[in-house]
Each structure stands twice: as structure tokens, then as C-alpha cells.
Amino acid sequence: MARNKKKKAADLPAEKEKLGRKGYEEELKRLHIELVKLQEWVVAKGLKVCVVFEGRDGAGKGGTIKAITERVSPRVFRVVALPAPSDREKTQMYGQRYLAHMPAAGEVVIFDRSWYNRAGVERVMGFCTEEQAQRFLNVVPLFEKMMVESGIILIKYWLEVSAEEQERRLEDRIDDGRKIWKLSPMDLKSFSRWDEYTRARDEMFAATDTSWAPWYMARSEEKRRVRLNIISHLLQQVPYEDITRREKIKLPKRSKIGSYKAAPYPFRMVEERF
């Protein structure tokens, strides 16, 4: 009997040897250069790219998005991380508030969580009815087909992390004053509902993993490795050419320095404490 080629998260290969900082930074620099090339191509060709990041709490979505965007222009790569809907937005058609953030020509929009909130946190935590969740799962493939047919390149990532690693990371947020803001009350409420989230994820995949908008799962037990893997994969999803060096860049000549004497303004200087 042939084995099923689609492996469940629990059946994925064992953890590889940890990637060292030096090797990570060298590879990340190379990928950042490629992202800049992609950026210039997207602008030149007027492409519209939409990247969705979903996954369990503590799976590393924010760090991965930061690794993607830290060396590109925020005017081209826009990150959308919407708060909980306002009272007015709750009365709107579901998904309406996301439409305003869709990419225009020459933009890459990255959603740090997206309309898939309805299939995940809203469903598991009881913020929507089961009927509303099922209606969403029925409609969203058509919504995404409309996006793709309008010229948007839609790429969807799910970051998967083990229960043990998730717990370690959430505990780390409690103990580290730099990360405590990452631990929301919703994270704490949802922590005990691992199986409910697994069931919701599986039903979401079954309903919305389509040929025109497939899901890509990435193992995120090791943050450095998943960042490199996703950036490398993302670069493969949007064919591009290097147009950054078609014209040689040369600094122009400066006018003579010293022809104007700076005014003795009493600047309020920042104290040099370091």
C-alpha cells in the first residue's frame, strides 16, 4: 500500500543540527540581496504580491516577517497587522477591513495574521458561531480566486511548532522584559486549547488549500532555519530578474564645502552616555 505523501506535522523529520549565527547571517545577507532585486522587479513591472502568515502562537511569524523586511523599502514591502475589529467593523461584511490593505501595483503586502482569523482564533475562542466559520470556509476559496484573477500573486504560509517549543517560547516571553508585549491575554487563554487549534487548522487546510492559492507549511522549531527557508521559498514564487545594476551608480561631484559658515545655533545636544 502506497504511503501518503502528505505528512502530518507530527510525522515530519527530526530536528537538524542547529544553524550557527555566522552561517545564518551569511546566508541571510545573500537572501536580502535577492529580496532587493525582487523589490526592484516588483516596482518596475507593477506586480501585486500578497503574502499571508498564519500559524500557532509563538511559531515565529513576527521574527520571520522582520527578517524579510529589514533590508527592503517599507514603501514597497508593507506589513499589515490589524488589531481586533472595532464595534463598527464588527457590523461590516467579514473580510471587508482587509480589502483596503490589498496591494496595488508595485507593492508587496505581508499580512501578519489575516482573514484566516475566522478559521482559527475566532472559531476556537468562540468569537464567531460554527455556522459563520463554515460559511467562511466555503466562501474564502472564491474570494482568493477573485484576488488571483485580478492579478494578485497570493502566497500563504503556515508556521508549525511543537507544543513543547511553543511552551518554551511563551515562558520566555514572560521572563524577558523585551518580549512581554508579545504575550497577549488571548495567547494565555488559547494556550490550553492545542487540540482545538489543530482540528481548526486541519479543517482550514482541507477547505482552502487550492490550486490557485495553496498553503505552504514551514517547521519553525528553529527560528533561524525557518526564516531562511521561507525567504528562499518566497523568492521562488515570484520570478524576477536583476535590474539593480543595469546602470552603474556613481556619486555626483559635491559643491565646494566651506562656502557657507554654519550659524552658531544653541542646539540641544543628546547626552553622550555611551
**Which tens digits make up the pLDDT trace of 133-187?**
999 999 999 999 999 999 999 999 999 999 999 999 999 888 888 888 888 877 7
For residues 226, 205, 171 and 12, what is the CA-based torsion angle, rounded to 10 degrees? -50
Cα gap 32→36, rounded to integer Å = 6
pLDDT band at 73 (very low <50, low <70, confident <90, very high): very high
How far is residue 136's CA from residue 23's CA, in Å, rounded to a whole number?
Answer: 43
pLDDT category at 204 given cuts 50, 70, 90 is very high
User: Can you tell me the mean pLDDT for 27-40?
Assistant: 98
Task: Name the DSSP class of 118.
Answer: G
CB-based burial of residue 264 (10 Å sphere; 0-12 exposed, 13-18 middle, 19+ buried)? exposed
